[in-house]
Amino acid sequence: MFAVVVHIILSSLVATSAMTLFTYIVAALTQKELGEPKFLNRLIRSSRQFDTNTTDNHIAGWAIHYAIGLIFVALIVVFQSITGYHLSIWLGMALGAIFGLMGVIGWIVMFSTHHDPPKIEFTVFLIQLVAAHIVFGLTVSIYFTSLI
């Protein structure tokens, strides 16, 4: 059990980092402002719930981003345990796409319920978000298939 927890943590760190790198590459190539931790920090900074001077690179946004990655990997492991499916490249990418769509819903809810959401190119952000989660799922599948 300890080894499983360690692999969940390690794979979530690797996959979330790969996803984030993908996002920053897309941002550089498209000259668009992207970045999940940055936007999380902006939501926190302009929130009525918190009295904070959170910067774009504050640890809070990064911690939330990586915590969600950890939850997603744990869900993949639970899915594997329940279904008995082996995590292939294609299954990892499909689960990543599903997580991406969940992320789209989450961001839409956060932006639509926030009194002062960041001004970003939302459609571009959401499209790259799904693609980034496919990278996430692919990375998790590569991590776990390399253990076999």
What residue segments make up the domains of the chain, in order of their start? Answer: 2-145
Query: What one-letter code names the amino acid at 93?
Result: M
Whether pLDDT at 148 is above 70: no
CA distances from 130 to 2, 38, 51, 54, 71 (A): 31, 17, 32, 26, 17
CA distances from 88 to 32, 39, 82, 146 (A): 32, 32, 16, 11
Whether pLDDT at 114 is above 80: yes
Determine the Cα–Cα distance for residues 109 and 122; give it in Å rounded to an integer.
Answer: 12
Determine the Cα–Cα distance for residues 39 and 117; give it in Å rounded to an integer.
Answer: 9
Give the confidence band of 147 by pLDDT, cuts at 50, 70, 90. confident
| pTM, entire model | 0.94
CA distances from 103 to 76, 97, 99, 130 (A): 15, 9, 6, 8
> Could you identify the residue written with the tokens 């918190």?
50
CA distances from 134 to 18, 47, 84, 90, 139 (A): 10, 30, 21, 10, 8
Give the confidence band of 51 by pLDDT, cuts at 50, 70, 90. low
Kindly state the average pLDDT of the residues 110-128: 93
Whether pLDDT at 5 is above 80: yes
Interval 17-29: pLDDT, tens: 999 999 999 999 9
Instruction: Please report the pLDDT score of residue 42 as a whole number.
Output: 92
